[in-house]
Amino acid sequence: MTKRPPMAKLRTPRYGLRIRRQYEAVLAKSKAKYKCPRCGAEALRRIRLGIWKCKKCGFEFAGGAWEPRTSVSTTAEAGLARVTGR
C-alpha cells in the first residue's frame, strides 16, 4: 500500500489565467463611473464594498458589491414595482 500525500491535489494549478481575467474585469467595473439614480450625474463612486455615493449630490445607497445595479437588484426592483403598483 502506498501512502498518497493528502495535499497533492491542492498543488494543481487551479487558479489560472481565466480567473485572473475575471478578476480584472470585475476590478475595472468597480472603478468605472456610474450614473447617480437621484441626480443623473455620472459621479457615482464606490466608497465601500456594496456602498455607493454620488459625489455631486451626496446621495448614498447600498448596491452591488462591484456595480451599483446588479441583475439581482433590478429583478428585485421589478418585483417590488409589481407589488406596489408602479
- Report the interface residues with Zn ion, using CB under 5 A: 36, 38-39, 54, 56-57, 59
- For residue 77, the tally of other CB atoms under 10 A from its CB is 11
Phi, psi of 11 (to 5 degrees): -85, -5
User: Whose Cβ is closer to Zn ion: residue 43's or residue 65's?
Assistant: 43
User: Whose Cβ is closer to Zn ion: residue 62's or residue 82's?
Assistant: 62
User: Whose Cβ is closer to Zn ion: residue 29's or residue 45's?
Assistant: 45
Fill in the amino acid letter for 22.
Q
| Least distance in angstroms from the C-beta of 80 to Zn ion | 21
